[in-house]
Amino acid sequence: GCGGTDFCPFQIFKEKIAAAHLKHSYDYLCNASMEKQPGSKSFVSQLFEMLSWILSGKNKDKASPKVEL
């Protein structure tokens, strides 16, 4: 990305490397509207939480035993 050098000037890094990975503008991400209630979770968040709980096979109420390595 930067001609084989270890470091890039910030502007070149931003244009060649970071821009390819950014899907939204800075203003879209940093000035997002906070209309949702702070406690409400999206459907995707709830689904992910439920699936991770099921697939982990762990009960959150029980503390896992600590194993010293």
> How confident is the model over 2-40, as pLDDT tens digits?
777 888 888 888 887 777 667 667 677 677 665 555 666
Q: Give the predicted TM-score (pTM) of the model.
A: 0.28
CB atoms within 10 A of CB 8: 15
- Tell me the C-alpha to C-alpha distance, in Å, between residue 34 and each of 25, 30, 46, 54: 17, 11, 19, 31
Q: Are 45 and 53 in contact (CB under 8 A)?
A: no
The two tokens of residue 23 are: 């899907």
- Per the model's pLDDT, the better-predicted residue between 56 and 69 turns out to be 56
